[in-house]
Amino acid sequence: MNEITIRRPDDWHLHFRDDAMMRAVVPYTARQFARAIVMPNLTPPVTTAAMAAAYRERILAAVPEGIDFTPLMTCYLTDNTDADDLARGFADGVFTAAKLYPAGATTNSDSGVTDVAKIMGVLERMAEAGMPLCVHGEVTSADIDVFDREAVFIDRVLAPLVGRLPELKVIFEHITTAEAVQFVDGAGDNIGATITPQHLHINRNAILVGGIRPHAYCLPVAKRETHRLALRKAATSGSARYFLGTDSAPHTREAKENACGCAGIFNAPYAIESYVTVFDEEGALGHFEGFASENGPRFYGLPLNEGTVTLRKAPVAVPEAFDAAGASVVPFHAGETLGWSLV
C-alpha cells in the first residue's frame, strides 16, 4: 500500500506551553490533528475552569486562519483541587479531563498530587460524572530506579486506584513498558492508554550510546528493546484500548543541551508521519485509522471527526531544528528522512 486515507486524527496528549512558544507550535499540530488533549503543566499550572477557559482562548487565537482545530482542556490536579469547580468545568464543557501528575514526576509537576488518597473525593466525583482521568504513571520515590518507576506505579498506585473506583475512566498516558501493556490488556474497558511516537521508535540506547543525547530524553524515559517491541505490538494490534498521544513537549535547545537537560521531546511537526511509518513497518496499516482517529474519541465518548487526511509513501526530510519564539527547538527525527508524507 502506497497511500492511505483515514478519518482526521486527534492527539490525545500534547504540550502547547504558552505565549510565544505556544504560538510557534500550535500550527504544527493543527496541520495534522482536528483536536488535542492539552496538558495543563504551565507555570502556574492550569488548576481552575477559569484558567482553562482563558488558556483555550489563547490557543484558539494561535490557530492559523482557515484551519479547524479544537483544543480539549485538562485540569491540573493538586492536593487542594476544588471538586465543585472541576465538576462544573466538566459539565460546562471547559474541561474534557483532569490530569494526575504525581508531585515531582516530570516537567512542571511540583504542584502535583503528593498522595492519591488526598484526592479520593475528587476522583469519586469524576467517576460519578464520567470525567476521564489522565495519569502520568510514575512513582517518584528516590529509592526507585528511574527505569522501574512506571512498573512500580502500576502496583503501588494504579491497580489499587482502579480497584477502588472501578467506574473511573483512566488513560494511562505515554506508556513505556511491557508491564503497562499487560496491565491495560487485562483491565476493563474503562482503561485506555496513549503511546508516543518516540516510544515506538527508540529504546534507551538512543539516549545513552555514543554519548548523552538529550533530545531523545523524555519522561517516562525510553526503556530497553523488549519494551519497545511490546509497545509496537500493542499499538498496532487493533485493540481499541490504545490510541495516539504524541506527548510533544517543546523545550528550547538550550534547555535540552544543558548540564541538567529538561525532559520532553518535540515531535509535533511530523508526528503523523512518524506513527504511520511504524504501522507500515509492522504490516499493520489496516489498524492505523483505529489508533489515530477512532479509539481515542470512542474512549472519551466524543464524536469521531468528519473529513479525512491522506498519507502517501513519499520521503519527507525532517529539519535539524525549528525556530520558535526566537529560540531553536530540535524535533524528534531531526535530520532524518521519514518514508511517509501527509498529502
Q: Which residues are catalytic?
A: 247
133 binds ligand NCD per the rule CB under 6 A: no
15 binds ligand NCD per the rule CB under 6 A: yes
263 binds ligand NCD per the rule CB under 6 A: yes
14 binds ligand NCD per the rule CB under 6 A: no
Stretch that binds ligand NCD, among 56-64, 101-109, 177-185, 331-339 (CB under 6 A): 101-109
Stretch that binds ligand NCD, among 104-112, 143-151, 159-167, 227-235 (CB under 6 A): 104-112
SS (H, E, C) 53-79: HHHHHHHHHHCCCCCCCEEEEEEECCC
What is the total count of residues that contact ligand NCD (CB under 6 A)? 12
Among 136, 149, 169, 215, binds ligand NCD (CB under 6 A): 136
CA-based nearest residue to 232, from 171, 274, 264, 265: 274
Among 49, 122, 218, 235, binds ligand NCD (CB under 6 A): 218
State how far the Cα of 71 lies from the Cα of 60, in Å rounded to an integer.
8
DSSP state of 145: -
Residue nearest to ligand NCD (CB): 264
Exposure string for 105-114, b = 16+ CB within 10 A, e = fewer: bbbbbebbbe
Q: Spell out where the chain has E strands.
A: 3-7, 11-14, 35-38, 70-76, 95-100, 133-135, 170-172, 191-195, 242-244, 308-312, 316-317, 322-324, 327-329, 337-338, 341-342
| Distance of alpha carbon 319 from the chain centroid | 22
State how far the Cα of 107 lies from the Cα of 86, in Å rounded to an integer.
23
State how far the Cα of 299 lies from the Cα of 132, in Å rounded to an integer.
9
252 binds ligand NCD per the rule CB under 6 A: no
State how far the Cα of 41 lies from the Cα of 156, in Å rounded to an integer.
24
| Distance of alpha carbon 328 from the chain centroid | 22
Residue with smaller CB distance to Zn ion, 179 or 247: 247
Residue with smaller CB distance to ligand NCD, 106 or 305: 106
Among 29, 32, 41, 111, binds ligand NCD (CB under 6 A): 41
> What DSSP element (H or E) covers 221?
none
User: C-beta of 266: minimal distance to Zn ion in Å?
Assistant: 12
User: C-beta of 158: minimal distance to ligand NCD in Å?
Assistant: 16
Are 101 and 135 in contact, with CB atoms under 8 Å apart?
Answer: no
Stretch that binds ligand NCD, among 61-69, 103-111, 146-154, 289-297 (CB under 6 A): 103-111
Among 21, 157, 219, 278, binds ligand NCD (CB under 6 A): 219
216 binds ligand NCD per the rule CB under 6 A: no
264 binds ligand NCD per the rule CB under 6 A: yes
> Which residues sit at the interface with ligand NCD, rule CB under 6 A?
15, 41, 106-108, 136, 218-219, 247, 249, 263-264
